[in-house]
Amino acid sequence: MDADPIRQTDDDDIFDFATALMQNRTIEECYDVLDRITSESINARDSQGYTRLEWATAFCRRDFRNYLITKGATSTGNRFHRNALFIALQYVDRNWNETLDTFSPETISGANAMNDTALHLALYGAKWDMVNTILDLSGNDDVNTVNSSSETALHLAAKSKCRTRIFDKIVRRTTRINTFDAYGYTALHWAASEGSAKKIRSLLDKGADVNAQDKGDGNTALHLALIKKSKTAVEELLKCDNLDVNVKGKRRWTALHQAAAWSSVPADLFKKILQKSSDVNAKTILGRTALHLALRTRSATATEELLSCGYNQNGPVVDVGDSHGKTALHYAAEWQDIPVDLFRKILQKSANVNAIEKVEEATALHFALDKRSITATKLLLERADVKLDIKNKKHYVPLHLAAQWPDIPPALFNAILHKTIDLNAKEKTRGLTALHLAIDAQSQTAITQLLKHMDVNIEDNQKRTAIHLMDSWPDVPPDLRLLLNTRLRKLNDTPDHERPIGQDVSVGGFK
């Protein structure tokens, strides 16, 4: 947290005035703002309790002060000076030479209309020397004051770049170590979000509840440290004997889920969380396990550790599906450059290589081809039980997807082609065959092989044949042109009784 923007205001005119001061605009540039001031509003206060004259005084703008005074602005003794001090503490960025010598401890202990004390405001404004001075004032007990956002000084210190010595001083004097602010966070939540191991240790030593869940998402400090990918914060929290890694947030995420979703999670941290986890197959609100998330975020470390898991359980159930029926094998197939050993392990542990997820109604092979994963496609095709006649929601069989892969390795395409029963199958939306799709994708590998085996005269829903589609392809490779014409000549030379049903060669050759 750096120096604060204007927190709130009920008066737009004062907000605009304050913004002009913060932007260091000249008085000539602000006549549109100043002209809106009336005799009734000249001494109005914003939601923090400040007048325009107090704002101008805090920013040392004599030109604005003189203008306001001529319009009837007035100052009211000690409160006026206190408010000018408060504004400067929070909003003035330049070096500010005002000291606290002329202010009594009673004045410093006062609060503005939002119940912010000088300590709150100095923390908001990142005025660390002032924070230290205010803390050292005898009789000052502002550390535990709660402002209108339910924040104590400890909350603000925890989420700012507050110096460690100052932070520790605030921690020692606090009596509200586990108080929640208006954002639903305790100081420990903020420290974890900021990734500060020193602040975390100081708070835990004071008795902060390491398992407290924030009021919004139900996250613990460990959840937040993992979300922020802070290695040092996670390490510090894992040292706590009372830490419970199995606490679930509102989305039912445990620390293990969060760690698995960290694509570059350090192996040692993941192992520690895994060892402390009671249920490696716990599901989030979307039905995802840690293994699903590790694969989804391409975390080789988390995936490897989960597959090798042997600490407190037998390991993850690979065939369990999420709320959409998507298994680990489906997720692995979508990982384009998945390490070969990882995919092989998942494939070996999968009982049903042809499992169909619910949204796309696709198998792992559909996903592998759609994401153009050479590893996943190759290993799936090596399985004797893999089926290539399953249609997804759009009635695509694997051959359709393979045909759309422009640079598919020839060996992979041939393996799919030879295992496909119905080469002329059409997809649902446009009535396209694999040959139509291959021409549309300009996949020379697919076109070359399909022309040797398919009926080139099959029409799509728009009555277009492969010949029509090739005709709209500029600069067709000569070898493909020759192959198509050769195929047509063979069809023309085939007696009617030997020609496959439905083959009409009345269309002329490709030119």
Residue matched to tokens 């009336």 = 38
In this structure, whether the domain defined by 149-244 belongs to CATH 1.25.40.20 is answered with yes
> Other CB atoms closer than 10 Å to residue 493's CB: what's the count?
10
- d(CA 277, CA 274) in angstroms, rounded, equals 5
Is 388:365 a contact under the CB 8 Å cutoff? yes
Q: Please give the helix or strand (H or E) that residue 171 lies within, else none.
A: helix 164-173
pLDDT digits (tens, 9 = 90+) for 232-251: 999 999 999 999 999 999 99
- d(CA 443, CA 323) in angstroms, rounded, equals 36
Q: pTM to 2 decimals?
A: 0.88
- d(CA 481, CA 429) in angstroms, rounded, equals 28
Backbone phi, then psi, for 303, in 5-degree steps? Answer: -60, -45
Output the CATH code of domain 401-511: 1.25.40.20
128 class by beta-carbon count within 10 Å (0-12 exposed, 13-18 middle, 19+ buried): middle
Give, in order, the Cα–Cα distances in Å from 163 to each of 98, 195, 236, 249, 264.
21, 14, 19, 31, 30
466 class by beta-carbon count within 10 Å (0-12 exposed, 13-18 middle, 19+ buried): buried
Block means of pLDDT (10 residues each) for the chain, length 511 residues? 56 86 95 93 94 95 96 87 91 64 67 94 93 78 90 97 96 96 98 98 98 98 99 98 98 98 98 96 98 98 91 73 98 98 97 97 99 98 97 98 97 97 95 96 94 89 89 81 74 50 34 34
State the pLDDT at residue 493.
60
| CATH for 1-129, options being 1.10.287, 1.10.3470, 1.25.40, 3.30.70 | 1.25.40
State the pLDDT at residue 499.
38
What residue segments make up the domains of the chain, in order of their start? 1-129, 149-244, 401-511
Is 212:220 a contact under the CB 8 Å cutoff? yes
- d(CA 299, CA 307) in angstroms, rounded, equals 12
- d(CA 17, CA 355) in angstroms, rounded, equals 64
- d(CA 460, CA 425) in angstroms, rounded, equals 11
**What sign does the dihedral 418-422-426-427 (CA atoms) show?**
negative
